[in-house]
A and B are shown apart, each in its own frame.
Chain A
Amino acid sequence: MRERFLPHPIMTVILALVWVLLVNEFSWGNAIFGLILGLGIAKLTSVYWSDRPKIRNSWAIFEYSMVVLWDIVVSNVQVAYLVLFRRGDSLRSQFVVVPLDLTSPEAIATLAGTITMTPGTVSADLSADGRSLLVHCLETDDPAGTVAGIKSRYEQRLMRIFQ
């Protein structure tokens, strides 16, 4: 019964919330219309989302967002410094390979997005078997350390959220 009418409860809530925020003015009419949209879209697209990722531990999600937000601020300052005060040719940029322990596509997408937004790294490609991520570092003299940092700082936390 629940599976039939509410295949993705979190998605429904988020869609309703986004609708109310887009209208930018709370009224019950808006909220109900948002809820209808949320239910309808979740139902229509549920064919493409056959297995829903098991998300638990909402405190871990909060902790993860705070860590990432802080890192975004730090990385902005670092990259701004590198751009302004270093000659472009003198930056030791290189590709590194991050072996993945995460398996669900949603978790890997989150990790790739996080890597792009945080200190001096951009995720560039995924391996064909989905077990490694190609990451480009703007400035590094310790590739192994960078990889270890990504794994311990972000991947460990994502493991707790998604598995």
Chain B
Amino acid sequence: MSLLIDIIVSAFILIGSVFLFVGSFGLFKLPDTMRRLHGPTKATTLGIGALLIASILYFALLGQAFGIHEVLITLFLFLTAPVTAFMISKAHIFRNKPTQQSLPAPKDSGWATLTKPR
């Protein structure tokens, strides 16, 4: 029985590490800032998620303590990852002239980053 639990937990840890690795690798490999953002925002979510599931399963099934801390980590991650990505992309748009010129225009307005506040 405990062998089965070990196998399941190990599988989740493996999946998690693979996705974390791919996320970081994407950050290294992709050619420009906007594309690079895709790696860490996506792949790491599932990576961390799988590791947390492994942690919950391990402590719940082997009976040391039933921790739900992990749920909170997931929650905070889901709240912070998009905001970080949003701020990085805004900073990139603000600093980078070629990117600014390649932007499609919104209907009857300008992008908030490039418009002077009234």
Binding site for B on A (CB under 8 A): 18, 21-22, 24, 72-73, 75-76, 79-80, 83-84, 88-89, 91, 93, 95-97, 99, 112-117, 120, 122-129, 131-132, 134, 136, 138
Given contacts A93-B34, A117-B81, A122-B34, contact A127 B106 (CB under 8 A): yes
Contacting residues, chain A, for B79 (C-beta < 8 A) = 113
Taking CB atoms, residues of chain A closer than 8 Å to B43 are 76, 79-80, 83
For the complex, what is the distance from the CA of A93 to the CA of B30, rounded to whole Å? 11
Of A18, A84, A125, most B-chain CB atoms within 10 Å = A125
Q: Which chain B residues (63-90) contact chain A, with CB distance < 8 Å?
A: 67-69, 71-72, 78-79, 81-83, 85-86, 89-90
Contact B111–A128 (Cβ < 8 Å): yes
User: A122 is contacted by which of B37, B49, B113 (Cβ under 8 Å)?
Assistant: B37
Q: Give every chain B residue within 8 A of A116 (Cβ-Cβ).
A: 41, 81-82, 85-86
State whether B29 touches A83 (Cβ < 8 A): yes
A21 with B72: CB separation less than 8 A: yes
Q: Which residues of B are in contact with A by a Cβ distance under 8 Å?
A: 18-19, 22, 25-26, 29-31, 34-35, 37-39, 41-43, 45-47, 49, 67-69, 71-72, 78-79, 81-83, 85-86, 89-90, 93, 102-113, 115
* Docked-complex contact B31 and A123, CB < 8 angstroms: no
By secondary structure, the B interface counts as: helix
Is B67 a contact of A83 with CB atoms below 8 Å?
A: no
Determine whether the beta carbon of B22 is less than 8 Å from that of A80. yes
* Number of interchain pairs (Cβ within 8 Å): 135
Which residues of chain A have C-beta atoms less than 8 A from B37's C-beta? 122, 136
Query: Which residues of B lie under 8 Å from residue A24 when comparing CB positions?
Result: 67-69
B22 touches A138 (CB 8 A): no
**Interface pair A132/B106, CB less than 8 Å apart:** yes
Most buried by A among B18, B42, B105: B42
Given contacts A83-B26, A138-B38, could you give 5 more A-B pairs where the C-beta distance is less than 8 Å?
A97-B106, A113-B82, A116-B81, A123-B86, A124-B93
B90 cross-chain contacts in A, Cβ below 8 A: 124-125
**A32 to B: closest C-beta gap in Å:** 19
Q: Which residue of B lies closest to A75 (CB)?
A: B42
Bound together, the chains give a CA A138 to CA B29 distance in angstroms of 14
Offer 15 A-B interface pairs, CB within 8 angstroms, sorted by A: A72-B46, A79-B22, A79-B26, A83-B38, A83-B39, A84-B22, A115-B82, A117-B41, A122-B89, A125-B89, A127-B111, A128-B109, A129-B109, A131-B106, A134-B111
